[in-house]
Amino acid sequence: MINSTDFANRIKKVMDFHQLSASLFADKIGVQRSSISHILSGRNKPSLDFILKITTTFKNVDIHWLLNGKGNFPKENNTSTLKASPTPPNLFQDSSNTGKQIQRIVVFYNDGTFDEYRK
What tens digit of pLDDT does each residue of 78-96 get?
A: 544 444 455 656 665 655 6
Do 60 and 100 share a structural domain?
A: no
* pLDDT tens digits, one per residue of 29-74: 999 999 999 999 988 888 999 999 999 999 999 999 998 888 888 8
* pLDDT tens digits, one per residue of 54-64: 999 999 999 99
pLDDT band at 108 (very low <50, low <70, confident <90, very high): confident
Classify residue 76 as exposed, middle or buried by CB count within 10 Å of its CB (0-12, 13-18, 19+). Answer: exposed
Domain span at 107: 89-118
Question: What does the pLDDT read at residue 76?
Answer: 73
Do 59 and 18 share a structural domain?
A: yes
Query: pTM for this structure?
Result: 0.61
Do 96 and 51 share a structural domain?
A: no
